[in-house]
């Protein structure tokens, strides 16, 4: 009887994965799992972190469930006008009598100037508001991380040039700078993302640079240099993973500031009215004299949503900073 040959898994470059490489890969996965479990145990003990996580899970559910709830009829279409005592969907021309309707059992937060359900628009607004904050933060963190890593590791004249550019962006008033950018490139979703991202990258660059200056003198970097490892590989394979936790904690806090900035800029009219965000809702409510009409919740509801999601990201960011910083964790 002939034995069936054992199939050997392929490596990352198409070659066969030898047993030593397979064991190293398995060991890395097990180590990653143990670190994840250990991190969750520490994070679970943080009341602030858990509170922030629960708040963000609620708003994440709102953002992800909006299309499904609308398609099943559990949530009204945010762009549909409502008519009649039962608030059924109708054309915009015949919805005049249901404009500025007060909150009731059919429309929990009343209707707006076009007889649209404010509650549905608030629910849908979580999508774009959180998405803009997240995308702007990712781009901002990317720019700041690259500048900080290159500046901190290479030093010399390159460090001087990059840090002078960073200092220039640091001294600029963030909101004024974002307003000027949007005035030049115009309102819109992606323009808003770009304006916020360009505004906030400088502080991340400074933070990452200081971390790299400390890490590049460590023994594991000296060993990598002695082994003939290239500079690019040292920066991104050896140094960056050790600085990632700091960047991640900074990113969580930056999302909160980015959402606040987006809401403020949308309130000033720098977002297309076809896009539903919480800032746009407040701008429309203010422009249609919601308070004078007694429709206080038209303004209060999106304002509370902004405060809640910013608080969630802030609490989560502080908790992550405390966990990843041993000095803070000992206090």
Q: Parallel, antiparallel, or unpaired for β 81-83 and 88-90?
A: antiparallel
274 vs 256, more confident: 256
Q: For the chain, which residues make up each domain, given as ranges? A: 126-330
Averaged pLDDT for residues 138-167: 93
Ranking 57-66, 86-95, 127-136, 229-238 by mean pLDDT, the lowest is: 86-95
Structure-block tokens of residue 123: 């629910």
* pLDDT over 60 at 84, yes or no: yes
Contact 252, 52 (CB under 8 A): no
Ranking 154-168, 215-229, 271-285, 308-322 by mean pLDDT, the lowest is: 215-229
Summarised one tens digit per residue, pLDDT across range 13-25 is 445 445 555 676 6
The correct CATH number of 126-330 out of 3.30.390.50, 1.10.1200.10, 1.10.3720.10, 3.60.21.10 is: 1.10.3720.10
List the Cα angle 51/56/61 in 5-degree steps.
130
* pLDDT over 80 at 263, yes or no: yes
The mean pLDDT value of the chain amounts to 85
* pLDDT over 70 at 81, yes or no: yes
* pLDDT over 50 at 8, yes or no: no
* pLDDT over 50 at 237, yes or no: yes
């Amino acid at each position: 009887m002939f034995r069936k040959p054992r199939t050997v898994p392929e490596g990352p470059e198409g070659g066969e994965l030898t047993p030593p490489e397979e064991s190293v890969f398995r060991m890395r996965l097990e180590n990653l799992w143990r670190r994840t479990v250990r991190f969750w145990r520490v994070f679970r003990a943080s009341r602030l972190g858990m509170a922030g996580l629960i708040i963000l899970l609620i708003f994440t559910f709102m953002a992800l469930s909006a299309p499904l709830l609308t398609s099943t009829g559990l949530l009204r279409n945010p762009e549909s006008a409502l008519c009649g005592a039962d608030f059924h969907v109708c054309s915009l021309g015949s919805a005049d009598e249901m404009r500025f309707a007060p909150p009731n059992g059919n429309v929990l937060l009343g209707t707006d100037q076009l007889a649209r359900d404010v509650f549905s628009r608030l629910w849908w607004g979580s999508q774009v508001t959180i998405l803009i904050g997240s995308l702007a933060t990712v781009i901002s963190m990317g720019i700041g991380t690259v500048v900080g890593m290159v500046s901190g590791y290479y030093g010399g004249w390159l460090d001087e040039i990059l840090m002078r550019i960073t200092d220039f962006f640091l001294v600029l008033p963030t909101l004024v700078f974002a307003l000027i950018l949007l005035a030049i490139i115009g309102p819109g979703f992606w323009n808003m993302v770009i304006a916020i991202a360009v505004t906030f990258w400088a502080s991340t660059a400074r933070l990452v640079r200081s971390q790299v200056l400390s890490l590049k003198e460590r023994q594991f970097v000296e060993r990598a240099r002695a082994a003939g490892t290239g500079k690019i590989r040292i920066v991104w394979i050896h140094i960056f993973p050790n600085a990632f936790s700091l960047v991640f904690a900074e990113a969580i806090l930056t999302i909160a500031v980015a959402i606040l900035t987006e809401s403020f800029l949308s309130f000033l009219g720098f977002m297309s009215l076809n896009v539903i965000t919480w800032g746009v809702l407040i701008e429309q409510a203010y422009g249609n004299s919601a308070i004078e009409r007694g429709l206080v919740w038209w303004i209060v509801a999106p304002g509370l949503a902004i405060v809640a999601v910013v608080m969630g990201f802030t609490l989560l960011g502080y908790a992550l900073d405390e966990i990843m910083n041993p000095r803070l964790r000992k206090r």
